[in-house]
Amino acid sequence: VYAVDPSTGTLTLVGNEIPIHFGGQSRILLHLYYTVGEWEVEIASEGSASETFETSNGSLRYFIEPDHADYVFTSTEAQQGSSTTMSMAPVPPGEIIIMPDSSCPPD
């Protein structure tokens, strides 16, 4: 469960943070989709070693669990032929912070 901006249909992103409400779930599959290009995504959470993954067709799936205070997703464009800065495509925030919360629905 997450907050969506009703006027745009997109996630509400404040300070690059997205609260995820688990309710009774033990883990949730997070699906990131980048509209342009391929990306290297470093995922760090307190108490765990960081991991780096590459998107496939702009997509990355990762399971998150409620026992971490947050997950920090740092995106870097993979070095390929063209750059999003040259194509005027939207560039994601440098970091997106996912904050697990067991309460559901959100207050």
Could you report the per-residue pLDDT of 9-34, keeping only the tens digit for each? Answer: 766 666 778 778 888 889 989 888 88
Number of folded domains that form the chain: 1
Please give the pLDDT value at position 107.
54
Indicate if the pLDDT at residue 87 is higher than 80: no
CB 72 within 8 A of CB 43: yes
pLDDT > 90: what percent of the chain? 23
Domain CATH for 24:
2.60.40
Q: Supply the pTM of this predicted model.
A: 0.71
Q: Is residue 3 part of a domain?
A: no
| Domain boundaries, position 26 | 9-81+88-101
Q: Is residue 4 part of a domain?
A: no
3-state secondary structure of 28: strand
Cα 37 from chain centre = 16
pLDDT band at 1 (very low <50, low <70, confident <90, very high): very low
Phi first, then psi: what are they for 96, rounded to 5°? -120, 130
Average pLDDT, the chain: 78
The CA distance from 10 to 91, in Å, is 15
The CA distance from 92 to 32, in Å, is 11
Q: Which has the higher per-residue pLDDT, 96 or 28?
A: 28
Q: Is residue 107 part of a domain?
A: no
Indicate if the pLDDT at residue 78 is higher than 60: yes
Which tokens sit at 90? 């939207």
Please give the pLDDT value at position 48.
87
Q: Is residue 74 part of a domain?
A: yes
CA Rg value for the chain: 15
Please give the pLDDT value at position 68.
87
